[in-house]
Amino acid sequence: MNKSTVSTGTAVEKDNLFIPLIDFSLFLSGSPSERRSTATSILHGFQRAGFIYLSNHSIAPSTVSRVFSSSASFFALPQPKKDALAWYSPAANRGYVAHGREKVTQLADKGDVEALRAAVPDLKESMEIGKEGEEGKPNMWPKEDEAFKETMIGFFEECKELHVNVMRAVAVGLGLEEDWFDGFTDGGDNTLRLLHYPEVKKSVFRREDGVEQVRAGEHTDYGSITLLFQDSRGGLQVLSPNNTFIDATPIPDTIVVNAGDLLARWSNDTIKSTTHRVVEPPPTPGSENSDVYPARYSIAYFCNPNFDKWIDAIPGTWEGTSTGKKYERVNSGEYLERRLAATY
């Protein structure tokens, strides 16, 4: 890929929230000292903010652009065609999720989630894609568009490779052998999520009942890390140490990467899984007099440890601490399925 001019620095700095911007090519192909320094920066970003931005990350801008275009074409299909590809189970986590069906939240009780969904629905629709060819868990492909399937399978594999490399950097940062996580990441038990936040009237966000309407409620992610590709609209916000939500402004040709709950648990809470949400986007020049917010698209690749693996505290994260191991070991697949069952 053509190397971006964006390299290393600061992506976000406000209210004690510091999210670094890291040139990942320095880990992928740098000198030994550059690789160690980059790995340390990645680990520190996850430890302090739970979020980092990666530039020069190995996925070509043209590839990302093609995936966004294919995603927009999918969501433009007639509603009955999308409904025919509906999401069908937490175990599979594949298929189309219509407006209002999912409610991302910090709540764990299914009844509480349903009540919140009824009061403040998430203003989005999505398409969930898992690894292809898994028995009993078919992906739901639109029959009219073979190119869509080919594009998404190829992109899934590129993101899988990036997941492996980011976790190798985390291992180096932790002082482990670089391949320590390889046996947890080679299965590709991940989910590619295409997201569409449709055009919505500005009045929707000014509710008379005082309830704060959002496009996606405040939540943490469930797995190890998430690779997030943003369009230029904005709207993603991250919770700061001062308990304020701060804009994670899009930076061209970068990926926002955040740690999830399972990685926080795996690291004995030395890595943070930070709360975030999606709100109405900031106004764009010339849109002040419009009564609608434009559509927003994003692509999230949710990375998980192989579903057959048991997750226990990573060496070096708990020995000699006052708390010891804070969590019992947990099966990756069972943990993710339980979390998803409460969400839908």
- Closest C-alpha among 308, 261, 336, 264 to residue 91: 336
Q: Which amino acid is at 131?
A: K
What is the predicted pLDDT for the residue at 77?
95
Q: What is the CA radius of gyration of the chain?
A: 20
**Residue 231 neighbours by CB distance under 10 Å:** 20
Q: Is residue 105 predicted with pLDDT exceeding 70? A: no
Q: Is residue 206 predicted with pLDDT exceeding 80? A: no
**Contact in structure between 300 and 227 (CB atoms under 8 Å):** yes
Confidence of residue 200 (pLDDT cuts 50, 70, 90): confident
Confidence of residue 1 (pLDDT cuts 50, 70, 90): very low
What is the predicted pLDDT for the residue at 120?
46
Q: Which amino acid is at 280?
A: E
Q: Is residue 35 predicted with pLDDT exceeding 80? A: yes
For 43-87, write each residue's pLDDT tens digit.
999 999 999 999 999 999 999 999 999 999 999 999 999 999 999
Distances (CA, A) of 29 to 176, 178, 252: 19, 14, 22
Q: Is residue 4 predicted with pLDDT exceeding 60? A: no
> Mean pLDDT across the stretch 238-242?
97
Token pair in block for residue 85:
């590809």
More confident residue, 212 or 214: 214
Q: Which amino acid is at 216?
A: A
Confidence of residue 8 (pLDDT cuts 50, 70, 90): confident
Cα dihedral 285→287→288→291 (10° resolution)? -170
What is the predicted pLDDT for the residue at 233?
86
More confident residue, 235 or 329: 329
Token pair in block for residue 301:
């690749």
- What's this model's pTM, rounded to 2 decimal places? 0.89
**Contact in structure between 272 and 46 (CB atoms under 8 Å):** yes
What is the predicted pLDDT for the residue at 128?
98
Distance in angstroms (rounded) separating the CA atoms of residues 109 and 339: 10
> Mean pLDDT across the stretch 232-242?
93
Helix 110-119 to helix 332-343 angle (10° resolution) is 40
For 142-184, write each residue's pLDDT tens digit.
998 889 999 999 999 999 999 999 999 999 999 999 999 999 9
Q: Is residue 256 predicted with pLDDT exceeding 60? A: yes
Q: Is residue 288 predicted with pLDDT exceeding 90? A: no
Distance in angstroms (rounded) separating the CA atoms of residues 241 and 239: 7
Query: At which residue do the structure tokens 């991302």 appear?
Result: 104
Helix 61-75 to helix 146-173 angle (10° resolution) is 130
Confidence of residue 204 (pLDDT cuts 50, 70, 90): low
Q: What is the mean pLDDT of the chain?
A: 89
What is the predicted pLDDT for the residue at 89?
94
- Closest C-alpha among 3, 4, 17, 9 to residue 41: 9
Q: Is residue 104 predicted with pLDDT exceeding 80? A: no
Residue ranges in 215-328 assigned as alpha helix (H): 261-266
Distance in angstroms (rounded) separating the CA atoms of residues 65 and 144: 21
What is the predicted pLDDT for the residue at 312?
98
Distance in angstroms (rounded) separating the CA atoms of residues 237 and 249: 8
More confident residue, 309 or 234: 309
Report the run of H or E that residue 216 belongs to, with start and end. Answer: strand 216-219
> Mean pLDDT across the stretch 180-204?
90
Distance in angstroms (rounded) separating the CA atoms of residues 313 and 78: 47
Pairing of strands 276-278, 310-311: unpaired
Pairing of strands 51-55, 17-23: parallel
What is the predicted pLDDT for the residue at 112?
47
For 111-152, write each residue's pLDDT tens digit.
544 544 444 466 889 999 999 999 999 999 999 888 999 999
Classify residue 164 by burial, with Cβ atoms within 10 Å: 0-12, 13-18, 19+: middle
What share of the chain has pLDDT > 70, as a percent?
84
What is the predicted pLDDT for the residue at 274?
97
**Contact in structure between 154 and 246 (CB atoms under 8 Å):** no
Distance in angstroms (rounded) separating the CA atoms of residues 198 and 149: 23
What is the predicted pLDDT for the residue at 111?
53
Q: Would you say how long the chain is, in residues?
A: 344
Contacts of residue 121, Cβ cutoff 8 Å, sequence gap at least 6: 99, 100, 103
